[in-house]
């Protein structure tokens, strides 16, 4: 038998190097995005930036970039939105956030995540020879600039604002002062945006003479059972303390002396002006104006939200005035 009769030697196949699949890269991206968001959240909270745009714009921007770099090009933006939804839902059991906080933050998170993902996707497409458009350069710079609002006094625009609500109540003008001096009736249902997780007022001490102190007590957050992190508000009651500083036959002015409620992290109450004008012999128009300072940034987003919420709060306070001189037995209808 010569060499020609021997069977040919089979070459061993070359081992291809292991490469993670697209799903594996995406899983890594989701974990990295969640971890980065969690670390940034704790950092901003610990360094006094929990009310700044760095939290509400910076965190979703980081999430968008991380997810886009790990997700398939055709589904980057959609995947980033889904991951953001998951992280927002996890904020309740893991970070102790409340429903109203998550609902207020969700729109700006979705907006920044979507825009950030599209911009990051444009830059990633540059590798395939397609140059990124002008918006892919301008928009990220704009988002980074917007994220700096509220981080320093220089970058914090004035937050002073006011909201006014008015209603015609079935009470002669001569009896309004006595009604305002009585404790407010918080058995009146709040309804609308005020009923989706905002602190619930429980009691009011009453009083309308100059120098009188009115203390409005709010319930604490509900206790959360199991491994869920307790609400960051805490379960203890909190108090808003007001003082009557001016009084006329048709008006009263209150200033805030202290506020231990969770609302103090969103805005600072400055002054409350209450005035009334007779409509006829039996009815009176009651106006309630709240002056406050917005503490949340960015202003272009939280400014309109806080104006709407404070307007609803002023309207609710008018409806809680005890026009009948009774503390129980009546429930008002919510508009």
Lookup: tokens for 169: 């109540």
Q: Are 282 and 313 part of one and the same domain?
A: yes
Q: Are 151 and 167 part of one and the same domain?
A: no
Cα(38)–Cα(99) distance, rounded to whole angstroms? 18
The one-digit pLDDT tens for each residue of the chain (335 residues) are: 555 565 665 655 556 666 767 677 777 777 888 888 888 888 888 888 888 898 888 888 888 888 877 777 666 778 888 888 888 877 777 666 667 788 888 899 999 988 888 887 777 666 555 666 666 678 888 888 989 999 999 989 999 999 999 999 999 999 999 999 999 999 999 988 888 878 899 999 999 999 999 999 999 877 666 655 666 677 789 999 999 999 999 999 999 999 999 899 999 999 999 999 999 999 999 999 999 999 999 999 999 999 999 999 999 999 999 998 754 334 333 34
Q: Are 57 and 182 part of one and the same domain?
A: no
Cα(244)–Cα(295) distance, rounded to whole angstroms? 24
The reply to whether 13 falls in a domain is no
Cα(316)–Cα(310) distance, rounded to whole angstroms? 10
Residues in contact with 290: Cβ distance below 8 Å, sequence separation at least 6, in sequence order: 162, 163, 164, 269, 271, 272, 310, 313, 314
Q: Are 214 and 275 part of one and the same domain?
A: yes
How far, in whole angstroms, is CA 329 from its chain's centroid? 35
Q: Are 117 and 235 part of one and the same domain?
A: no
> Which strand ranges, in their side-by-side order, compose the sheet holding 284-294?
160-169, 284-294, 267-278, 251-259, 238-248, 213-218, 201-204
Q: Are 87 and 216 part of one and the same domain?
A: no
Residue that terminates a domain, selected from 155, 171, 191? 155
**In this structure, what CATH number is given to the domain that contains residue 196?**
3.30.530.20
Residue that terminates a domain, selected from 155, 189, 207? 155
Segments forming the whole domain that contains residue 315: 160-319
Residue that terminates a domain, selected from 155, 174, 197? 155
Q: Are 172 and 312 part of one and the same domain?
A: yes
pLDDT for the residue numbered 172: 95
Phi, psi of 162 (to 5 degrees): -150, 150
Angle at 166 between CA 163 and CA 169, to 5 degrees: 155
């Amino acid at each position: 038998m010569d060499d020609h009769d021997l069977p040919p030697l089979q070459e061993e196949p070359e081992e291809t190097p292991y490469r993670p699949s697209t799903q594996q890269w995406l899983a890594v991206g989701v974990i990295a995005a969640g971890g980065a968001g969690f670390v940034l959240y704790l950092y901003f909270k610990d360094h006094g930036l929990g009310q700044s745009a760095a939290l509400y714009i910076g965190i979703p921007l980081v999430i968008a970039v991380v997810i886009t770099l790990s997700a398939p090009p055709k589904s980057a933006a959609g995947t980033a939105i889904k991951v953001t939804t998951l992280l927002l839902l996890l904020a309740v059991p893991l970070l102790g956030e409340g429903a109203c906080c998550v609902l207020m933050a969700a729109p700006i998170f979705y907006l920044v995540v979507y825009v950030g993902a599209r911009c990051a996707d444009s830059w990633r497409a540059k590798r395939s020879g397609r140059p990124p458009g002008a918006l892919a350069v301008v928009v990220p710079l704009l988002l980074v600039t917007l994220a700096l609002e509220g981080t320093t006094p220089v970058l914090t625009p004035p937050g002073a604002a006011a909201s006014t609500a008015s209603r015609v109540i079935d009470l002669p003008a001569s009896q309004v002062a006595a009604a305002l001096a009585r404790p407010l009736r918080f058995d009146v249902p709040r309804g609308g945006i005020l009923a989706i997780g905002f602190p619930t007022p429980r009691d009011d001490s009453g009083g309308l003479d100059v120098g009188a102190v009115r203390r409005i007590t709010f319930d604490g957050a509900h206790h959360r059972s199991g491994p869920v992190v307790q609400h960051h508000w805490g379960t203890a009651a909190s108090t808003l303390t007001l003082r009557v500083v001016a009084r006329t036959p048709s008006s009263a002015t209150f200033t805030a002396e202290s506020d231990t409620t969770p609302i103090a992290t969103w805005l600072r109450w400055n002054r409350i002006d209450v005035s009334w004008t007779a409509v006829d012999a039996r009815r009176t128009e009651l106006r309630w104006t709240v002056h406050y300072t917005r503490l949340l940034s960015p202003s272009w987003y939280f400014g309109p939200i806080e104006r709407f919420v404070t307007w609803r709060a002023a309207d609710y306070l008018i409806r809680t005035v005890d026009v009948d001189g009774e503390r129980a037995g009546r429930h008002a209808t919510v508009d």
